[in-house]
Amino acid sequence: MRTARDAPSSAMLKLIRRYANSLPAQVGRLALAGVRPALAALLARTGITAQLGDSAVVPTEPALLAPLDRAAEEARQWIATR
């Protein structure tokens, strides 16, 4: 079975959800950096964005490492509040 190029399989979405569920017990958080619009929409439709938090899904940007830098800054801010 084929999936759309920018859409992960349902198994991958379940893995992301399961991994994200395991992190609070370890005082951790999952962030996804460089997320394309189609994937962002899918993550929102499936409730994963709500589970992770809006700031944990960082969209793609023209500058290659900009999403990673933004995700790292969000992570530093999240850690500071703990």
Q: Which residues of 48-59 are buried (b: 16+ CB within 10 A; e: fewer)?
A: bbeebeeebbbe
**Biggest alpha carbon–alpha carbon distance for the chain:** 44
CB within 8 Å of 22: residues ≥ 6 apart: none
Distance in angstroms (rounded) separating the CA atoms of residues 82 and 32: 20
Q: pLDDT, tens digit, for every residue of 16-72? A: 999 999 998 888 999 999 999 999 999 999 999 999 999 999 999 999 999 999 999
Backbone phi, psi, residue 56, to 5°: -90, -10
pTM: 0.83
